[in-house]
């Protein structure tokens, strides 16, 4: 692969130049992690007890306990399993052996990839043991895979940030959120979910359904049926809707023609190659919609005033804050059901941004249960509200 060729050429150049590459190997005492196999390390670390038990129930345990092959393991901590409502090893019995094997292989890459080997770039593509894509981003001291932030190694005061535990037959990177990766396309993903029938019907109504399979590198902010029903928007209402009376942005605002993981907004927003509007303020991504004057904001946590969430606003309308305290956000009119909902830090669900399902509007971290579904042509995040109401888009 190209990366290997670059490394080979670089080493050859150093040799020809008579330079001695410094030995960066860390000498370790017997009994430390570097003299253990990945399986032994996981088995002897309480933080990974459920992941290790899942591994033991598959035919992959022997591979991770052998020195005949090298592996990069994104090991899910017990906290990550708790996010899936799995609190004990016994609860793994809910899964078949095939399901456990697929889950473990989602988090495995063949070969040892040390932290120093990851390029400082956004969404470098690797392939896991299932053959699905893992997109790894590294910028300064932040590392993420498919939108899941990797836990850094403990450091002493003033020390540099590092990642990964180097072992005899590979390296282990802890993650507190399971990685989602699939070879399915976005259309398949939405079709398979019984809670997305109205969203699918609306995409079809506005001629956007085939975009879910024909276009690549998408981000879809999907809204479940329960949200549409909350506003009285039934499947029958969608099917009877006359699209001549409603702008296409009603549904097109949920589709970005660029892959954006939530972690991209937190640490890598300056690296996202998107047609932004000039009012962008990190860690937020402001992208023009297909409707002139309307823009979508995807927000990463920066401060309690700027929590996670998404919203649409109108660049052509300057308004004051709902409480009259001053100019509104960026001086522009926010649209959607929460347009006049000023953030109240005593209410975790207040604010004009629409949070992801299972998340609050004022939290400084994400559980990550319903975001970063990585598919073969993009990524899907599930929203807990509408970005625009029918009244916002009437012609």
Q: At what angle do helices 97-106 and 49-56 cross, to 10 degrees?
A: 120
**What residue segments make up the domains of the chain, in order of their start?**
20-175, 186-393
Q: Residue 136's pLDDT is what?
A: 96
Q: Residue 157's pLDDT is what?
A: 61
Which CATH superfamily is 186-393 part of? FAS1 domain (2.30.180.10)
Q: Are 224 and 382 in contact (CB under 8 A)?
A: yes
3-state secondary structure of 203: helix
d(CA 33, CA 172): 10
Beta bridge partners of 306: 303
d(CA 93, CA 138): 36
Of 86, 106, 93, the closest CA to residue 146 belongs to 106
Q: Residue 196's pLDDT is what?
A: 98
d(CA 184, CA 213): 10
Task: Look at the chain and count its residues.
Answer: 395
Of 259, 208, 280, the closest CA to residue 373 belongs to 259
Which CATH superfamily is 20-175 part of? FAS1 domain (2.30.180.10)
DSSP 79: H
Q: Residue 350's pLDDT is what?
A: 55
Q: Which two tokens stand for residue 332?
A: 């522009």
CA angle, residues 34, 134, 107, in degrees to nearest 5: 50
Q: Are 273 and 137 in contact (CB under 8 A)?
A: no
- CA separation, residue 21 to residues 3, 13, 34, 114, 156 (Å): 19, 11, 22, 17, 27
d(CA 29, CA 216): 49
Q: Residue 90's pLDDT is what?
A: 95
Query: How remote is the C-alpha of 34 from its chain's centroid?
Result: 30
Q: In sequence order, what are the residues at sequence separation of 6 or more whose Cβ sits closer than 8 angstroms to the Cβ of residue 198?
A: 225, 228, 229, 233, 234, 235, 238
- CA separation, residue 322 to residues 319, 334, 339, 360 (Å): 9, 10, 9, 21
Cβ atoms within 10 Å, residue 60: 19
Q: In sequence order, what are the residues at sequence separation of 6 or more whose Cβ sits closer than 8 angstroms to the Cβ of residue 277?
A: 286, 287, 288, 295, 315
Query: How remote is the C-alpha of 160 from its chain's centroid?
Result: 25
Q: Could you report the average pLDDT of every consecutive run of 10 residues in the chain (395 residues)?
A: 38 38 36 73 96 94 89 97 93 94 97 94 94 92 92 77 92 96 97 98 98 96 97 96 96 94 70 52 74 84 60 79 53 77 55 79 74 96 95 93
pTM for the model stands at 0.83
């Amino acid at each position: 692969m190209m990366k290997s060729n670059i490394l080979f050429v670089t080493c050859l150049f150093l040799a020809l130049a008579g330079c001695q590459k410094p030995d960066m190997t860390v000498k370790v005492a017997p009994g430390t992690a570097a003299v253990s196999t990945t399986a032994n390390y996981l088995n002897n670390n309480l933080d990974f007890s459920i992941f290790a038990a899942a591994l033991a129930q598959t035919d992959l345990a022997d591979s991770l306990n052998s020195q005949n092959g090298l592996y990069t393991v994104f090991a899910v901590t017990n906290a990550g399993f708790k996010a899936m409502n799995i609190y004990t090893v016994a609860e793994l019995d809910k899964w078949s052996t095939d399901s456990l094997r697929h889950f473990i292989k989602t988090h495995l890459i063949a070969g040892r990839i040390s932290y120093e080997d990851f390029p400082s770039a956004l969404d470098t593509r690797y392939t896991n043991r299932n053959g699905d894509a893992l997109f790894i981003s590294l910028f300064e001291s932040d590392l993420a895979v498919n939108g899941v932030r990797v836990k850094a190694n403990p450091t002493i005061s003033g020390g540099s940030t590092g990642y990964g535990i180097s072992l005899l037959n590979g390296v282990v990177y802890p993650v507190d959120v399971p990685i989602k990766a699939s070879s399915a396309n976005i259309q398949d993903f939405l079709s398979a979910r019984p809670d997305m029938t109205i969203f699918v019907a609306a995409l079809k109504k506005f001629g956007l359904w085939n975009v879910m399979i024909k276009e690549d590198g998408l981000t879809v902010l999907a809204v479940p049926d329960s949200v549409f029903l909350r506003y009285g928007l039934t499947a029958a209402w969608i099917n009877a809707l006359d699209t001549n009376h409603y702008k296409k942005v009603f549904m097109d605002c949920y589709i970005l023609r660029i892959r954006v993981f939530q972690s991209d907004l937190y640490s890598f927003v300056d690296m996202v190659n998107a047609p932004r509007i000039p009012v962008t303020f990190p860690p937020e991504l402001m992208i023009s919609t297909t409707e002139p004057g309307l823009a979508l904001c995807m927000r990463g946590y920066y401060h309690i005033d700027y929590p996670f969430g998404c919203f649409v606003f109108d660049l052509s309308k300057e308004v004051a804050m709902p409480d009259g305290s001053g100019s509104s956000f960026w001086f522009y009119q926010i649209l959607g059901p929460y347009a006049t909902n000023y953030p109240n830090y005593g209410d975790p669900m207040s604010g004009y941004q629409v949070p992801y399902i299972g998340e609050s509007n004022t939290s400084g971290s994400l559980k990550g249960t319903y975001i970063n579904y990585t598919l073969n042509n993009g990524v899907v995040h599930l929203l807990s509200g509408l970005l625009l109401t029918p009244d916002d888009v009437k012609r």
